[in-house]
Amino acid sequence: MATIAESHFPFLPATFFPHSLLALPILFLLLSLFLIRNRRPTLHLPPGPKPWPILGNLLHVGSMPHVAFARLSQAHGPLISLRLGTQTVVVGSTPEAASEILKTHDHDLSGRSVPHVSFARDPELNHDSIAWSTHCTDHWRSLRSMVRAELFTSRAIEQQSDLREKHAREMARFLNRKRGQEMLAAVSDTTSASMEWALAELLKNPDTMTAARREFDGKFPEGHVIKESDLADLPYLCACVKETLRLHPPAPLLLPRRAAKDCHVMGYTVPQGAHVFVNVWAIGRDPRYWEDASSFKPERFMVGDVDFKGSHFEFLPFGSGRRICSGLPMAVREIQLAVATLVHGFDWSLPEGTAAGDLEMEERYGVTLKKLNPLVLFPTPRV
């Protein structure tokens, strides 16, 4: 008995219809992608590499997106666009692009692109989170104002100085007990990651470490325990922290923003729903804005008034605009006090056979930018 296919389409091979049925889902997927891509007029997107079908530009990004975006920016311009799967991504990699995204169009580009992790997508946490709230609602603004007023005013930070000084003393006592043993400085939070990078840079640049020590030795007696009030008398140490944040910002792409509507930036269209990043890692290493950009030179911050509070777009380790890190003042105090305690309180040596100039500085991208290989040092108490 002839099948329906054979009786109605005798000129087709018997295997045509089974194969065609298998191909239908693939054809449907391709048609859907085509319709999605063409359901709106062609947009004048920022330039970027040509995307592959389905994958888009995922293969261009790799495991170090901040480095890949910096390289693509050199080839395509200060504002680039990519397609990661079906998601449009826009990246700004110059101070001018950062100013457009974080200041000029801050309102339209202040949505938050929430990552696919359970803690960030929890509805209750998202509603009451300054960092991960998807929209800058009235509730979000009230919450931000309350947090700043209660926790991050100058008075509030001063009132918490005893707690930070206690933690610094406990860290010093711990290292005293571990005398002659290895110290592994890499942990997950922003402060410790910045401490590790600062120590690595100071050990790699012995002249800088000597200059930092000289500043302490000329102002504080032997045995002096560093307090937050001492930081005002340590401009070179604070410059070392700034230089560390320039080369090794904790969040090299900041947290992802999301376009609330179509927005025109630097002559290009950033479409609604696009994920928007600012590559502060690339900006901090751009030789057009920083002399000898790849070198660790704290002296560059001893002149001028460049700071990290969001108004100097060539130096944005904590972001800018309404989404700037609310905990910036406290984070900076913690990093400065911790680094000051470690530099003043201990002599540091590398493992036998490791020269200062050979200290590797490779990065590992993640929630915070950390060293690929944890820093291993030997502390010897000085005071």
CA gap 96, 298 in Å, rounded: 24
Contact 325, 250 (CB under 8 A): no
Contact 91, 82 (CB under 8 A): yes
Length of the chain: 383
325 labelled ligand-binding: yes
Relative to beta strand 87-92, strand 275-278 is: parallel
Q: What is the DSSP string of 91-132?
A: EE-SHHHHHIIIIITTTTT-EE---SSHHHH-HHHHHT-TTT
> Cβ of 302: how many Cβ atoms within 10 Å?
12
> Cβ of 113: how many Cβ atoms within 10 Å?
19
Contact 277, 252 (CB under 8 A): no
CA gap 155, 308 in Å, rounded: 20
Helix (H) or strand (E) holding 347: strand 346-349
Amino acid occupying residue 329:
P
Q: Which of 329, 358, 372 is nearest to 196 (CA)?
A: 372
Binding site membership: which residues?
Answer: 325
Binding site membership for heme: which residues?
Answer: 325
